[in-house]
Amino acid sequence: MHTNKIGLAVHDFAPSTETMREYVLRGLSRIPKELPSQYLYDERGAKLFERICETEEYYLTRTELGILRRNMDAIAARVGPGALVIEPGSGSGLKTRILLQGLDDPTGYVPVDVAREQLTNFATSVVREFPELEVKPICADFTDDYEVPACDNAARTRVCYFPGSTIGNFKPAVAIEVLQHLAELCDDDGGVLIGVDVKKDRETLEAAYDDAQGVSREFALNYLVRLNRELDAGFRVDQFGYEAPYNESLGRIEMALVSSRDQVVEINGSGVRFNKGERVRTEYSYKYTLAEFAALAEKAGLKVEQTWSDSEELFSVQYLEPR
């Protein structure tokens, strides 16, 4: 556990360097190659993702913010008073502030994020903005095991907040497991407030994940910079490009780094061969129709109780409860 200068304790379950090395080498030994997406978010990666959210093409953040602001009273009524809010993958917390301001007397907030510096800075700002709120940050990969710390104030209910279409980063079978975990965290009387991106035209989707300014490309390539720094890897970053095509048949954006030449990269003494044009998947972003996501939630033991959307039906915010 780490405590900062204002006395905020950060419960630390962050993955070790050894775990990161194991996951990375395992992913690069697969066909096709892949890199585990959770390691995109070091300190610089987290800041670059914030910049992506501000690009003109990335409709998701501003659309979800609009949905929250227009429907906050209805969302607060659905969640109920005295809730403990647990947020796996809290990030910069822009949407979280709107939620905490709009809820009826929330008792506590538990942000979970793997980017320690961003987590600590955000949790500290929440403590200052909401001095009556009990804040218990956890530094962890939210897909791994971690314990939600006990809070002094008894909550009437628990709600898991999972915005930003993060659920889309998982293949459907894994997404079901993630939803099951969220259901366990919120208990039988609570719920899951979740952002779900909606299927739409290819042009809009591909532009959102490969913006004209090149911020998405910089974000993806920063992964290699991190591997060079933390795993003593030998990636030549300038010898990799970036692609994010939409696979319509599978309903997902497929973000990948692409080797521009035949090469062998040393990673902590292990040589990994890359062929010219070979793609290394870094992240998926699945898109769902409302019916498709309702069916996915049902397989996880959850039912959609309410859905809020924007006028163009670009995005949805949904409230799920255990069946």
Domain limits for position 69: 59-200+288-322
Number of Cβ within 10 Å of residue 56's Cβ equals 11
CATH code where residue 104 lies: 3.40.50.150
- pLDDT at residue 2 in the model: 52
Where residue 14 falls among pLDDT bands split at 50, 70, 90? confident
- Does 253 fall in a domain? no
Residue whose entry in the numeric block shows the structure tokens 């809010």: 85
- Does 50 fall in a domain? no
Q: What is the mean pLDDT of the chain?
A: 94
| Cα–Cα distance for residue pair 2/312, rounded to 1 Å | 44
Where is pLDDT greater, at 147 or 212?
212
Where is pLDDT greater, at 118 or 306?
306
- pLDDT at residue 51 in the model: 97
- pLDDT at residue 239 in the model: 98
Q: How many CA atoms does the CB half-sphere of 214 hold within 13 Å?
A: 5
- pLDDT at residue 117 in the model: 87
- Does 313 fall in a domain? yes
| Cα–Cα distance for residue pair 7/222, rounded to 1 Å | 32
Number of domains in the chain: 1
Where residue 76 falls among pLDDT bands split at 50, 70, 90? very high
- Does 116 fall in a domain? yes
- Does 122 fall in a domain? yes
Where is pLDDT greater, at 190 or 269?
190
Give me the mean pLDDT over the 192-211 stretch. 98
From 194, 198, 197, select the one nearest 305 (Cα to Cα).
194
Indicate if the pLDDT at residue 303 is higher than 60: yes
User: What pairing do the DSSP bridges indicate for beta strands 134-135 and 108-113?
Assistant: parallel
Indicate if the pLDDT at residue 99 is higher than 70: yes
Indicate if the pLDDT at residue 101 is higher than 60: yes
- Does 117 fall in a domain? yes
| Cα–Cα distance for residue pair 85/130, rounded to 1 Å | 13
- pLDDT at residue 221 in the model: 98
